Structure formats: C-alpha cells, structure tokens
Chain A
Amino acid sequence: MSQANILDAPAHGKGRKWVRTFLLSMPIDSPLAGLHAITKFVMVLGVSFALLRMFSASRPDPVGCIILLGMAVVLLWLSGVIRWLFRSFLVMMYPMLLSLFLVWIVFNPAPGNRVLFSRQMYSGLINVGISIALIALVGAILGYYLYTKQLLWGIVGGLAAAFVISQSGLNFTWTLASVPFGEPLTLVVSDWTVYIAATKVLGYSAMVLLTFLLILTTRDIEMIGALRKVPRMPYAICLFSSLGLRSLSIAVIDFSTIRQAQVARGVNVHKKNFLAKVKDVAYLSVPLIANMMRRSTEISDALSARGYEMGANPTIYREVKPFHLVDWLLILGTTVLVVGVLAGGLNITEVVLGLVSRLGA
C-alpha cells in the first residue's frame, strides 16, 4: 500500500523532493539526475555488452559480474530509487533468476572436473502406464482440491509423496507401452555447470538492474534533449518515442488509483490463493486499457490544437543539457571496459586468480 502512496502524493507546497521519471519517481538531487541521458544510455548499453561476454560459457568471469552487479546496486542506492525497486519489481526477478539457474543446469550437461550429481531424468521413451507414485500424485491433488478448492499445496504435497514413493523402491509400476520420443535427458550437475550458472545469474541481474536504473532515473525532457542532438534525427521520432515512454508513467499513476478502487470493492477482504490474486490483477486490465485508449485517441487532437504538424521543427528550450566532465569520464570508463572485455579478452577472474597465485608463490 505505502509503495502506491508516493505515486499519488499531492503536489502542494514548496520544497518538492521527488520528481517523476518514466517509471516511478527519483529524488530531485539524485546524482544520476545530474548525468546526461546519453551518458546513462551509453553506460547501460556498453556494460550490457561487456556482461554478455563475461558470462559466456567458454570463459566465464564471475568476479567481473559481481563487480558490475555491485556497481549497479551502488548506483541504485545513490539514486535513492532502490527502495521502490526492491519493494515492487524484484519480487518478480527472484523466481525469474532461479528458473534461469535451473534451466541452465538442466540443459547444459558438461562434466567439468567433478560431477556432483548425475541422474537420468528421461530415458528417451515415454512410458504409458500406471504407478503408485502417479496415483499418489493425482490423488493428493484431486483430494486437496475437492476439500479446500485450492491447488497449490495439493500439488506440492502430491509431488513430495510421489518422490518419496519412487525413491523408496516401493513404486510398483505397470507399464502398458513404451513410446520413443525425443532425446534422452540426463541431469548432470558438476562444479563447472554450477560455476557457469552462477555467473549467468549474476550477469543477468546486473543487466536487469541497470535497465531499471535507466528508466527509473530518466524523464521525457532529457530523452528529447538527447535525441535532438543526434544529427538528422526527425523531430517526430523524438516526440513520439518520448510520448510512448511517458505513457508508462501515466499508466503507473492510473494503476495506483485503479488498484485502490479495486480494494474498495473488497478484493482483499478474504484471503486468497495465488491464482485468485493473479485473476484480480487481470481485472485491472479493463480500466487500465480503457483509460489508455481514451488518452491515445485524444492525443492527436491535443497535438494539433497546440499547433503540431508533421515535419514541425520546434526550437530548443532548456531540454538540451551540457556534457560535464563526469559524463566524459563515465563514457571513457565504459569504452575502456567494453574494449578491454570484447577486444582485449579481459577476464577479471583470471587476473585475480593470477594475482593470488603469484602472491602465494
């Protein structure tokens, strides 16, 4: 609730401390608010390219990924936007990264130096038949659903029962037919797959956080200002891309009111399972989309009433900001990193390991 509150804080009185960005708000004096939009964009893009190389399977660089992830977190912290991000958006990020980790391990059977765990998951044949574990699984889910009208814990319990039965050796199975389908799949967890999976998760987290950082600390004015400095960029592109991203901030504002209206209708009165909560969110789409549609149909009238025509070329007011020394330094730093990693094959982990072994010797 309180996360939504900032979004509709009234704008009265002097001394505003927050300013709205494409997504949510940032403190006015945030250090990133002072950076040029181009600097921010180049940094995010450059670091992302470097990260792609750093978590490649051939030469993973976990230390490099950790350093860049740390940098992203520190920047979020400095900009004062980290609270909102952690409250609302990271909830979705954890399961995403966990599934990434698992998928990587399952589909990349590399033996490495030491195999930690190896098990054939799928033999390449589909068995059509019945087993005690299967009965337990289906029975648990159905039974739980009939009694409680809920699914989640039925599935968890059923899976646990099926696992215990299949491990206990009491899993009597009657196979009716075996149909060959697809390739056999073996789950191999070795030190090497864990190493790569961890690096990938770190790298992707850094990329996601940096992208959030960009939209959490940029406003339409900065973007227009930056785009208009690009030679021969048509003004229509500057205007419509900024209008597009601006609608994101409008949607965030609408969302908070609409969500309140939904709470006022009693959606939170009873405790609900996960599926019912997802359904509640789906209901929000009707007013959200209706409002977006209404706005988008009226925007062309609003533009022409102000005198906008295709091919217009308005004067520049205050939107173009100067490049400061810090902008140049950051762009230089990013360039060094990208060139070092992509062309020079820089791998911070290897450098660190080399240093450690030299010190040991």
Chain B
Amino acid sequence: MSVVKIDNLCWRYPAFVGKMNPWAVDGVSLSIQKGEFFGITGPSGAGKTTICRTIMGLIPHEARVPPNMVSQHLRGSVEVMGRLVGGVDSEANVVDGVPRGKFLGRPVRPPMAGMVFQDPENQFLTMSLLYEVAFGLQLLGLEAEEIDERVREALDMVGLGHLWEEAENIHPADLSGGQKQRVAIASFLAMRPSLLILDEPTSDLDPIGKSEVIATVRRLKEDHDLTVILVEQDPEILFDFCDRIALVCNGKVDLVAEPEVFYSEFEFLNARGATTFEVSRIAYGARVCGDNEVPKSIVEACTVLTEVAGQPTDDLVSSNSDVVIAVEDLWYQYDDGTVALLGANLVLRRGETMGLLGNNGSGKTTLAKILAGLYAPWKGACRVLGEDVFQRGVRRNLPMKVGYVFQNPDHQIFTRRVYDEVEYGLKCIGVKREEIESRVVEALQRVGLAELADEDPLFLGKGQKQRLAVAAVLAMRPEVIIVDEPTTGQDYRMVTSIMALLEDLHEAGGTVLIITHDMTLVANYCDRVTVLRDGRTVFQGTSRELFSSPELLEAAQLRAPQAITLSCELRKERPDFPLLLNEREWVEALTRRRSKVALGGR
C-alpha cells in the first residue's frame, strides 16, 4: 500500500513582483510504500524541500497564492494515506463567468505525519528544551505523565538523554548546531508520526553523530512500521539506510532506484550534481573501471584499487617560516562561570592552512574569537603577529590583521548592496578613498561576484552570501583569515567552489585557519591540524599524522573520509602501502602505477 502518492505534480512559488517564477517542481510522480525508508538527494535548489512541503500540505495551503492565479501555480495531486492533501480544481470558484480555480485537500498533521525542517533554529517555538519537545504532545492532547515519558524517551533516542534533568532551563538557541538538530528531530519522534519527513536534518552533526541519529530513526522504523522520507547529501548515509533513493534535479525526478543500482549510475549522478562516493570518484578519475562498475564501499574498493606507486609527499611550510599565531596554555571563562578553554595550544606559521577540529562544544569557536580579538582571554599566553592579545589596544586593532568569516552569512551582511558590503569594512579601517574601489572590485572578482555588484545581498543564495562574506574580509587584506564551518549544509558543487576559493588563498601565500568538522575538507586542504577536546588541545601536527593513527581519531571523536579509511584498510595487509589522504593523491598514485606498468611492458 502506498503511503504517499504524488501524481504529475507541478508547483511554482508565487512571485510578488514582475513575471512568474519558473516551476520549482515540474511534473513529479512518486509512490512511496508503507514502511519504506525513502531517500531523496540532488543539488541545492533542485526542489527537494518543495516536494516534502507538498507532501505535508504546507504547499499549497500555507502559501499565499493570489486567488485568481490558483491554477497557474499548482497542477497534479498529492495523496497521503489515501487522503487528498493537495490538488486543484481549475473549474471551480467561477467569478464573472471565469473559473478561477480552487485548491483541494487538507494539510496532514501529526500524528499522521511530521516534518523536520532544514534549519532547526527557525522551527523552535519556546525558550526551553523541555517545552520544545513537549509542545507537539500537548497539542495532541496527552496528559502530563505521558508527555514526561515520551519527552524523556525521545531525548534518549537522539542521544540527549543527559540533558533531561536540566531540560526545562536550557534555551534551545544555546545548544550547539548538532544538538539543535537533535532536538528538532526529537520533537517529532516524540509525536510518533506514521510518516516522518527529514529534510537534511543532520548537516550540522559530525559524521559519527549523523549515523547515530539516522540509525535510531531506522530502528524506530523497524519497530513501529514508520515510513521515513530522508533528504540528504551524504551517500554513505543514503546507501546504508535507505530502501530506495530518488534523484531530484531541476524540479524533476531523474532516477528512482535501490541504493546499489542508484550509486552505480556514476556518470549520470555526477552530471546532475549529486554527491557520489569518494572511492567511486577515485576509481573513475584514475580510469580503473568503467561507469557502471565503480566501487561504492571500502570492501569493494579494496579489491579494485590496489595497484599504486610512489609515496605522497607533504608540501609543508618550512619550520623557518615565522610564527603568526602562538597560543600557549590559554584559558577562557564566560561570565556565567562556564570555562570554555582549559589550556589550549596552537602554533600557526605564515603561509599555512590549518584545520581547527574538535567535537561540538570543544571550544573551537571560542579560541578563534579570541584570536580575532572578539573575546578577551582569561589567562595563559596568546600572541598574534608578535603582539600580546591580553592588551585591549592590541585586540582593538586585530580586525585589521585577522579576518573572521562567521558561520552564518546572515549575521554579517550590513548593507543592501553587494559593492557597499565589501566597501563597509574598508571604510571602517580607514582605507583611502582612491584605493577602496580597486580593492572592492578585486575582492569581488576573486570570489566570482563581480557581476552582482549592484544586487541586494539579502536576496543572494546561501553560497553566494558566503562568498560575499569572504570577499568582504579579503578586501581588508588581513594577514590571517579565520573561516568558521564553511561547508556545513551545502551541496557538493558549493563545497567544491568554496574549497577552490580556499585553495586560491593558500596558493597566494595566505595564512588560513579553518574551523570545521568536515574531514574531507581537512584531508584535501589542511597542511596541519590542531584538535581540541573539551577545551584542551589534544593534538597538533600534520593532517597525515592525525589520519595515520586510528586511536587518535577515535579519541578525538573524528571519522576519516573514505579515501583515508581505504588506505588504512589496505595498510593492514600491506604495511608498505602509502597513506593516501584524498582523491587527488589516490588518482595520482594510481595513474603513476599505470604509466609504470605501460613502460615496463614495452
């Protein structure tokens, strides 16, 4: 029996000015079975979220469509559990002899269906974690004892059981990004819906937390006959947990298949901007195998990708290069008594790209904010460009030398024009008027936004906003750039473009500190890493050193990307096998081997 039945659905969002928007969803037909774990993937802006919202009936019933335009915005129909949720009767509502059309159906509500949105922050409704999870249960009309029990159970399921005691006093906004997403999921799990829709709910979670949460949902599905729709980018998650996966691109469903078949269509997926397995990209990039035989898992790759040659070398900045940032045994305490740093160490040399890693709440952002002069340290030693950050005067001038790109670009856009936005910081630090224009134009060109100079930044896409934020910092020509979580919640193409930008900076001799839990980013671009755990530095060294030690990774609660896991796996059998960190190194080693074989054969 199909729980969700979408028939030739088309939808466009109402435009308030100018011409009509293009179709956001353009002729989608899907049928999702009872008890299925259904995955949806595809690039940003493809229409994944829109499809989910039509299943809930938020579209068209909550969208403000002008009454005379009804049939121009919706076509086709959506049924959930045999009930019409969205549809249109274009002959109805006749005014002056002209049918204006009428939306049919009613939105579905809990406990029938629930939907966890992408951004947890915007779906919180209360000032307390406890009431956040309880809110839906109160609306269901449950009694206090049952609510207690269900809230507790839901928090346990998402791994937040330890917060139960204090749940009433915790403001959801004070939780870390990963915890917020867990709370959002818990508030729907508690309602025990028959259909659960998860719209990229784990983008802020570290890889380990991510599979934990999805595994919980999967287990629930087995126990309670739940139907789950999961929108996700990560192929490992989709492959491990989904029964079928749909690829959505440009408002159309291009492919629906079981995971094994789905990820074998490597070229097809790649051309449409879907994220594919790293091992598939390696094998395909080195032309070890054809399109339909790409390996998808470590086990498969172990049999195919075995013949490599040469040892990768680290292109490290020499230790003679001058030290730009030196932190030794640094402590920091918030005003309410929370100690966020308890002895952090960090050494950053000129020209290096360093990754600052650590689990949620380990003090990464706090340390970075001290380095940018935004917080005053408590005790210890901290010198940036030779100057003592403990002095107020030094901190005041730090923004000229240390640029800080915040995680959420919405927090750092102060003007209504792209050009003005870049100009703003330059005016603040008193750059001469003659120089401003050339600097702004140069910075915008570097991030590829030169043509949008007159646009309103508030209407840019998320990726563009983030690049604008980077441009605004670049134009100030800081000696060090700190970037906070640049890749969370972005699709493969955007991640690649941000990485390319960081790589450019590095090549130009810039010193970059990246706060991240994206291990692929670290393996690809960071020369060195500093790992924090609970406010202490637990590791300083090269990325290769970090990834060569599984014990270290485990202790720091990190998970290596596929490329590294694969080389570690092969090294178990053959200790002389090189530790290849990323796609580039793998492809190089594989091609080198092949040309050697070709030469030898001649």
Q: Enumerate chain A interface residues (CB-CB to B < 8 A).
A: 1-3, 5-6, 8-14, 16-20, 25, 28, 219-221, 242-243, 246, 249-250, 253-254, 257-258, 260-270, 283-284, 286-287, 290-291, 294-295, 298-309, 312, 314-319
Counting from the closest, the 7 A-B pairs by CB-CB distance are A314-B138, A9-B334, A302-B123, A261-B412, A12-B361, A11-B174, A6-B335
Whether the Cβ atoms of A6 and B428 lie closer than 8 Å is no
A-contacting residues, B356-379, CB 8 Å: 361, 366, 369, 372-376
B412 contacts which of A5, A8, A258, A315 (Cβ < 8 Å)? A258
Contact of B135 among A19, A284, A295, A306 (CB under 8 A): A306
Q: Which of B336, B366, B373 contacts A6 (CB 8 A)?
A: B336
Q: By the criterion CB–CB under 8 Å, are B128 and A219 in contact?
A: yes
Q: Which residues of A contact B219 (CB under 8 A)?
A: none
Which of B131, B334, B428, B473 is the most central at the interface, judged by chain A CB atoms within 10 Å of its CB? B428
From the candidates A19, A254, A269, name the one contacting B169 in the complex (CB within 8 A): A19
A4 to chain B, nearest CB (A): 9
- Would you list 24 pairs from A and B whose C-beta atoms are within 8 A, ordered by A residue? A1-B375, A9-B174, A9-B336, A10-B366, A11-B174, A12-B338, A12-B361, A14-B166, A18-B336, A219-B127, A221-B131, A257-B411, A265-B414, A265-B424, A269-B399, A269-B428, A269-B429, A286-B458, A302-B117, A304-B107, A305-B58, A307-B140, A315-B141, A315-B143
Which residues of A sit under 8 angstroms from B119, Cβ to Cβ?
Answer: 298
Q: Report how far A58 CA is from B403 CA in the complex, Å.
A: 61
Q: Do A305 and B128 have beta carbons less than 8 Å apart? A: no
In the complex the two chains form, is A246's CB within 8 Å of B413's CB? no
Set of chain B residues within 8 Å of A264, measured between Cβ atoms? 372, 374, 399, 403-404, 406, 412, 473
Known: A264-B399, A290-B458. A284 touches B414 (CB 8 A): yes
How many angstroms from the CA of A12 to the CA of B425 in the assembled complex? 34
Taking A263-B399, A266-B400, A306-B187 as contacts, is the C-beta distance between A301 and B372 under 8 angstroms?
A: no
Q: Once bound together, how far apart are the Cα atoms of A303 and B127, in whole Å?
A: 15
| B328–chain A nearest beta-carbon distance, Å | 22
Residues of B with C-beta under 8 A to A11: 170-171, 174-176, 179, 361
Docked pose: A8 CA to B191 CA in angstroms: 30
Binary contact track B165-191/A, C-beta < 8 Å → 1, others 0: 110111101111001000000010001
Within 8 Å by CB of A317, from B122, B144, B162, lies B144
Residue from B115, B121, B340, B374 within 8 A of A263 (CB atoms): B374
Whether the pair A9, B335 counts as a contact (CB closer than 8 A) is: yes
Question: Which A-chain residue is minimally distant from B130 (CB atoms)?
Answer: A318
Residues of A within 8 A of B130 (CB): 318
Residues A16 and B169 in contact, CB atoms below 8 Å apart: yes
Q: How far is the CB of A350 from chain B (nearest CB, A)?
A: 45
Instruction: Choose one: A20, A242, A265; the contact of B425 (CB below 8 Å).
Output: A265
Contact A17–B122 (Cβ < 8 Å): no
Question: Which chain B residues lie closer than 8 Å to A2 at the CB level?
Answer: 335, 376
Q: Is B601 an interface residue (CB 8 A)?
A: no
Contact indicator A286/B414 (Cβ below 8 Å): yes
Which residues of the partner chain B approach A243 to less than 8 Å between Cβ atoms?
125
* A18 proximity list for chain B (CB < 8 A): 336
B338–A266 touching, CB < 8 Å: no
In contact, A258 and B122 (Cβ under 8 angstroms): no
When chains A and B are docked, how far (Å) is the Cα of A47 from the Cα of B136? 38
Contacting pair B411 A261 (CB below 8 A)? yes
Which of B109, B110, B135, B428 is close to A266, meaning CB atoms less than 8 Å apart?
B428
A291: chain B residues at CB < 8 Å are 410-411
Shortest Cβ distance from residue B519 to the other chain A in the assembled complex, whole angstroms: 22
B107 / chain A contacts, CB cutoff of 8 Å: 304
Taking CB as reference atom, which chain B residue is nearest A3?
A: B335
Q: How far is the CB of B371 from chain A (nearest CB, A)?
A: 11
Nearest B residue (CB) for A313 = B141
- CB-based nearest B residue for A306: B136
The CA of A253 and the CA of B361, in the complex, are separated in Å by: 17
Contact B430 A270 (CB under 8 A): yes
Check if A286 sits within 8 Å of B415, measured CB to CB. yes
A17 lies within 8 A of B336 (CB): yes
Identify the closest chain A residue to B113 (Cβ): A305
In the complex, residue of chain A having the shortest beta-carbon distance to the beta carbon of B397: A269
**CA A260 – CA B414 in complex, angstroms?**
12
User: A246–B413 Cα gap in the complex (Å)?
Assistant: 24
B441 CB → nearest A CB, Å: 19
B56 within 8 A of A: yes
Contact status B414-A314, CB under 8 Å: no
Known: A16-B166, A20-B127, A302-B123. A265 touches B472 (CB 8 A): yes
Are B122 and A253 closer than 8 Å at their CB atoms?
A: no
B139, A249: Cβ atoms closer than 8 Å:
no
